[in-house]
Structure 1
């Protein structure tokens, strides 16, 4: 392995992946603040950790190296000066100064060892954790009832979204919702300071300082020449165009970017919640994203006459676009829930289309989506099921919970 980032397909043999084990941040969820923190329910921590451990073990049994976000971050912040700067950046992005708590939070976090500090910023810091002392100003005397100085980050176990590997580089994403925006800061520090990545001049195709929102669940690497990106609730057309320009200008392998418009609803959220690749010529899809004749809006971005130009064409048939851009004679779309109106809606809500391919024709799925899993098996796909009673409460499946860092090339 000559480079730590190498992802030129959705289905190449998965060699290295980054996960985040659910932690105490889930126990800082309460009904009153679920909407603010982008959750619909409160998972039971012990059970969700057991399910996640089984997910990780299933990957290891297939020969996948599993890295953890929390451990990589701790290793990246071993230097005291780097750790101090990380805390400063984290507090600034958390707007800790609004609560008048910046200095005492900074002191509190600097007093901890690195692993404890990371666990605290991920799980959130409650006001009653800090010594209040004598209240001397009106703000403290009329304290906001909101219980946190730093919000918990319960969505962190969906490692797909804050950053995504494309080719030998990364997008480090500006996420749409404020509740998730801090998450990509971890990957920036990992790439810049972790021994596995630093000094290797890893291309950053789009950085988190961008003005436009994009999330990794919308980014699919279909082959070494083609990237598909969802125009979704969480990813803007402006971000896709900027990323497309950067990819087409800065490297030679990727020849086109497909901007695939999907309904902008929470149920569909990202492209990978309704469409994933499971084999060279097979895809799972939720039928509700297509029109009556299978029509939808797809924009193909390609190089123009000069490096600064970009040529955009609009298409409306997903099958034909996939066949043309991937050089296939035929494409098989496998419907979530077997296309049944009720079953497909139910299983899509529980991420029936959110498969993680670990090799061509081999995928990891949630066990609860038994109709979709049976459809995959009927088309010759090997399905590795994992338990999902608690994991699925976070509204994300196996692809959402994984960030591939290295895949073998398709032969």
Structure 2
């Protein structure tokens, strides 16, 4: 896999991204959806169509899109096709600078896809760039809870699916990758706060959009030598970000869960409330590429959840 792992932020031009096509299984009714913690029933035929909408939009933007399911062995593929959450690749790992760090699932239902993808990553990138056992002894860490803000700072959540114990175990890897500060927030443990990227997202090099309740939450600041607290807005301001609070807007998954394709362009769902993005003066001229992915969003995640950046041009 000829990819130079390189991600120092959320907004530089995206060059390579990992995805996974949806499962072949339908989620046939509301009760089944509730039992597997999805929002609504899903037709996988329609989900496949919406997946290709997203992939085609990225390819048309010149992005190398890798569907990891196509690289699995026949035995692994037989299981993988039946894993309904496998489309949410963001959680599997995260590129910090030039290092790919493995995640650890917060629910046993997702463990097989982590194991399968991690052995692929090990084969593709080697043990120096992907330390497959680095989080073996840690608790849950799903990377929908992580934002790489810039070359100095990482912002992450230890909520429903990620633990502070896992952060403690992996923080040295982040510092060794070249970052100097980690901000840790602890979101309420509810379905709508499952991950950080359902509540906040980087929309530009100096603007982060966030749900308004987050302004009341302190952030624990970790460096190699210090440990202290700041409020969220102060932490982000120190690293060059303004915060666009969404105030009393009633949110759907689509609103904040977008993907930066380059500094001028966002890939968003057709169901996203564009007023949220356009409200900040620095975002008014952003190019918005809209794709229909609502059948995929019924699984409880959006476009950011379904894309794992491997390489951005810094």
Within-5 A mapping of 1:196-275: 196-198=124-126, 201-204=128-131, 207-248=134-175, 250-251=176-177, 253-275=178-200
Q: Taking CA–CA contacts closer than 8 Å with sequence separation of 6 or more, which of the two structures ends up with the larger relative contact order?
A: 2
- Answer whether contact 2:119 2:132 (CA < 8 A) is retained: no
- Answer whether contact 2:254 2:271 (CA < 8 A) is retained: no
**Larger CA deviation: 365-374 vs 276-285:** 365-374
Aligned with 2:205 (options 280, 292, 308): 280
Aligned to 1:130: none
Paired with 2:27 and 2:270, the residues of 1 have a C-alpha distance of: 27
**May I ask how many residue pairs the two structures share in their alignment?**
312
- Answer whether contact 2:267 2:291 (CA < 8 A) is retained: yes
- Answer whether contact 2:266 2:288 (CA < 8 A) is retained: yes
Q: Structure 1 residues 192, 222: closer, same or farther in 2, change over 3 A?
A: same
Paired with 2:279 and 2:271, the residues of 1 have a C-alpha distance of: 14
- Answer whether contact 1:168 1:203 (CA < 8 A) is retained: no
Aligned with 2:81 (options 123, 136, 144): 123
> What whole-Å deviation, never above 9, does each CA across 1:101-147 have from its counterpart, x for those lacking one?
xxxxxxxxxxxxx2xx33420233xxxxxxxxxxxxxxxxxxxxxxx
Aligned to 1:13: 13
Q: Structure 1 residues 234, 156: closer, same or farther in 2, change over 3 A?
A: same
Local SS of the residue matching 1:164:
strand
Aligned to 1:103: none
- Over the residues paired in the alignment, what is the CA RMSD in angstroms? 2.3
Q: Structure 1 residues 206, 265: closer, same or farther in 2, change over 3 A?
A: farther
Paired with 2:39 and 2:27, the residues of 1 have a C-alpha distance of: 14
Paired with 1:122 and 1:274, the residues of 2 have a C-alpha distance of: 29
Aligned to 2:67: 68
Which aligned runs of 4 or more in structure 1 are off by greater than 4 angstroms? 28-33
- Answer whether contact 1:173 1:207 (CA < 8 A) is retained: no
Paired with 1:259 and 1:29, the residues of 2 have a C-alpha distance of: 38
Paired with 1:312 and 1:273, the residues of 2 have a C-alpha distance of: 27
- Answer whether contact 1:218 1:231 (CA < 8 A) is retained: yes
Aligned to 2:297: 392
Larger radius of gyration: 1
The answer to whether structure 1 residue 23 and structure 2 residue 23 are counterparts is: yes
Runs of 5+ in structure 2 lacking a partner? Answer: none
Aligned to 2:53: 54
Paired with 1:170 and 1:155, the residues of 2 have a C-alpha distance of: 21
Aligned to 1:334: 244
Aligned to 1:361: 264
TM-score by length of 1: 0.71
1:373 to partner: Cα distance: 4.6
Aligned with 2:233 (options 306, 314, 319): 319
